[in-house]
Structure 1
């Protein structure tokens, strides 16, 4: 008589499922936003306020406090693995968060963060991260592990494929993120922070989660998607959109940061400017968004500029004012980290900078479109490729000097404009 082999995978008959009346495990974040063993991907465009929003949310979870209607069952142990903000600026942001006074003692011990991480989530990285998480809560298991952002710690396995490759993304999620969770707590919830790409208005309205950057396999893997989106760059209110696999749909939330606190606001409510100073702040914000977007868009067309040439080219364009006004605004944005510089223009097929000590202007995730190779023999068309432009220098906020960038893959902002 041949004995049947022991099943490798657990299976359940319909009868077993119907007869199981045991209570469902409590949500880590209700209603069904993050469930035990679930994965939430939180996306948003650069400068929309993702890290500020996430930091406020995670500290509220650690305190056991409701945040914008998202409710934990108790104070949760949260490990925040972040690779963007240096220690001193991280503590500056944390001190600005306003938690209920009686909840602060829990949050003090339940929230643990790394300073700016400078490693990949590969085998070597996991050997450092896993013990750090295990020791963070005195040998108690974390409830939530947040990784901010995916791009800075991404490891696609053999061949070093990027996050746009489906196989590489699946490798990262299954062999890196899941391996990390299994090692510290298989029931922990994972929060992954990711950038979004630009979509047309119609595309976004039809399916906003197409905006998540990179491979489509990411969307098929997570249990919850969240997007922080600002429809009008001249206004402060934003939208939070949800896509849930484990629960009913959640209506879009309209939020804004008012006096340092994230709050829900009335849909369609516009920024109220009651004082002249507030009007000037909104104007400065609109202008800095326009400048950053222009630099980004011009690179996509194959054009890069030094500060002086940019100011002269776009004088009185888009309401920016005179070239001197633009130069002054660029200087402010550079001091705050929104604009950096690259001096190795030759590496991207650009002429060498002459008459500029700083170099070409550069913004986060800027991609330069260039013609490559010979023309097609049949059509005569030239092939084009996009190259990610990495900064080589930045302006020190303390001295105003141009200093070499330590890690060009980690973009550091000196100030959160969304505050």
Structure 2
């Protein structure tokens, strides 16, 4: 006895465009066609690509155009509700597009005259000046371990407290949801407790900043629905102002084709079908901050266009409204540079920043060397080395019973330890004396410790903690150990940093550095 071969299930495109008649006359039944169509539009609504009302209208249009004769509307509705409930049970809460969001097919147009005549006030910046605007997207990029997350945490705390940060100003305390996927709970807690901000700032931000511990999910259909639900639970009364995603890489969903960050199509899918749909659901006007890694570029490339360092597809750069790059101009220095690119406002200069006593601060760019910075830094290091060599020589020579005047030391140690010629040594000594690191013993103070009377302007050179060898010996009464006899060599005069005059020291036992005294 022959058996009927099982029919293949039609694809969605074929089912949506092929009429189906009753009585099994076609390749599939009316029930199969309706089920495929309803399932397709249920998925679209669940992913937030259309509202439930739009999905129901599309199902009705399919029924009217392709099902012959049409299914009764009440039966169609029952099947729609059944499949919707089943899909929710299997895939979690839906990410439903706001009913107030404009349909994708509605394109707004304005004449030049309308734009010129519109005098309504501009909307307030979420973060001014034009750094993050309503409905805007900001991307902050930086290399691993450069301090992105630490900077972002401090920034978001300030925004939640309504306090300016590095010149970035919120109009009021903002509601911030920080979706971070790198730091586990206990280490996140530790980092938050170590923020070195004033207590009043922390108090103002306590309820306005909501943070997730390390997440193990992708921002796909299910993940987006969970995040939307978490945001609405965190801010039930008022909509969120800022949604920060840190980092993109840990939450990236490239869509059905499974593309990565380097795929332009996958990046556009993530930005438009995941991030923007999520934004439309929680608050179409909220600002998005995306934290992203950068690839390695040469210093010349960073100087020419630092935003080329953003990892992955170029589609990202064409999509955001503001871009920030955090990098170290000098790997051996603690300062970072924040490069800024704005699409919705005038250009902002880059900022030189550093973390001082637990707080991020902006450094005056006038203090930054602009010309041949690397060469200048090497010269600075060499000068510091020579200073250390001179101080060590003075200390060690004193223990041998030898003290020197300016001229005698410059001549005696010319080209010693890489100090250079006599003039260079003399100049270094002069700088050290002005800064208070070298002082002098002259007059009665010199004769009291057995030094010959000197005729120089300054006297004998003296450094902090100096001990003078007398040539005698001391014997330890307990151990019998014999050691050279050393007596303290205390300064009697110092060089005035303002006039260069030689002035008496007020208290020889207290060493004062002029730099600290002036500070």
- The equivalent residue for 2:112 is 14
Does structure 1 retain, via aligned residues, the 8 Å contact 2:157–2:202? no
The equivalent of 1:129 in structure 2 is 227
Structure 2 residue 208 is the aligned partner of structure 1 residue 110? yes
Deviation at 1:84, TM superposition (A): 0.1
How far has the Cα of 1:137 moved from its partner? 1.7
Comparing 199-208 with 122-131, greater Cα deviation is found at 199-208
SS in 2 for 1:234: coil
Of 65, 87, 90 in structure 1, the residue corresponding to residue 163 of structure 2 is 65
TM-score normalised by length of structure 2: 0.50
Deviates more, 1:217-226 or 1:228-237: 228-237
Q: Secondary structure at the match of 2:354?
A: strand
Alpha-carbon distance in structure 2 between the residues aligned to 1:263 and 1:178: 33
State the match for 1:304 in structure 2: none
In 2, the alpha carbon distance for the partners of 1:238 and 1:102 equals 27
Q: Distance in 2 between matches of 1:15 and 1:198?
A: 47
1:228-247 equivalences in 2 (<5 Å): 228-247=326-345
Aligned twin of 1:97: 195
In the TM superposition, what whole-angstrom CA distance separates every residue of 1:348-402 from its partner, at most 9, and x where no partner exists? Answer: xxxxxxxxxxxxxxxxxxxxxxxxxxxxxxxxxxxxxxxxxxxxxxxxxxxxxxx
Asked if 1:88 corresponds to 2:191, the answer is no
Q: Take 1:49 and 1:99, find their aligned partners in 2: how far apart are those partners?
A: 17
If asked which structure has higher relative contact order (CA below 8 Å, sep 6+), I would say 1
Q: How many aligned residue pairs are there? A: 268
Partner of 1:215: 313
Aligned partners of 1:159, 1:18: CA distance in 2, in Å? Answer: 44
| 1:395-414 equivalence runs, <5 A | none
The secondary structure found in structure 2 opposite 1:225 is strand
Q: How far apart, in 1, do the equivalents of 2:228 and 2:255 lie? A: 19
Counterparts of 1:22 and 1:103 in 2: how far apart (Å)? 34
CA contact (8 A) 2:197 2:358 kept: no
Aligned to 1:109, the other structure's residue is in SS state: coil
User: What is the match of residue 174 of structure 1?
Assistant: 272
Higher helix fraction (1 or 2): 2
Contact 1:39–1:222, Cα closer than 8 Å, also in 2: yes
TM-score, normalising length from structure 1? 0.62
The aligned counterpart of 2:282 is 184
Is the Cα–Cα contact under 8 Å of residues 197 and 359 in structure 2 kept in the other structure?
A: no
Q: Is the contact between residue 62 and residue 78 of structure 1 (CA under 8 Å) also seen in structure 2?
A: yes
Q: CA deviation at 1:250?
A: 0.6
Distance in 1 separating the partners of 2:238 and 2:202: 20
Q: Deviations over 1:21-52 (max 9, x none)?
A: 00000001011000000000000001100000
Q: CA separation in 1, counterparts of 2:349 and 2:230? A: 37
Q: Secondary structure of the equivalent of 1:43?
A: strand
Classify the secondary structure of the residue corresponding to 2:207: helix
Q: Retained in 2: the 8 A contact 1:60–1:99?
A: no
2: CA distance between counterparts of 1:39 and 1:235?
31
Deviation at 1:127, TM superposition (A): 1.6
1:197-216 superposed Cα distances (whole Å, 9 cap, x missing partner):
01122222111100000000
Structure 1 position 233, deviation (Å): 1.2
> Once the 2 structures are TM-superposed, how far is the Cα of residue 104 of structure 1 from its aligned partner?
3.0
Further displaced range: 263-272 or 206-215: 263-272
Shift of 1:269: 4.8
Q: CA deviation at 1:12?
A: 0.7
The aligned residue for residue 140 of structure 2 is: 42
1:145 is matched with 243
Matched, 1:259 2:338: no
User: In 2, Cα distance between the equivalents of 1:230 and 1:241?
Assistant: 11
Once residues 301 and 202 of structure 2 are traced to their aligned partners in structure 1, the CA distance between those partners, rounded to angstroms, is: 42
- C-alpha separation between the residues in 1 aligned to 2:106 and 2:344? 25
Indicate if the aligned counterparts of 2:196 and 2:357 stay in contact, CA closer than 8 A. Answer: no
Structure 1 match to 2:15: none
Contact 2:141–2:293 under 8 Å retained in 1: yes
Q: CA RMSD in A?
A: 1.9
Give how far 1:159 is off: 1.7
SS of 1:239 mapped into structure 2: strand
* Higher alpha-carbon Rg: 2
For structure 1, list consecutive stretches of 5 or more residues without a partner in the other structure.
Answer: 1-6, 274-419
Provide the residue aligned with 1:334 in structure 2: none
Aligned to 2:174: 76
Confirm whether residue 249 of structure 1 aligns to residue 362 of structure 2. Answer: no
Q: What are structure 2's unaligned runs of at least 5 residues?
A: 1-104, 370-376, 382-519
Please report how far the alpha carbon of residue 105 of structure 1 lies from its aligned counterpart in structure 2 after TM superposition: 3.0
Shift of 1:232: 1.2
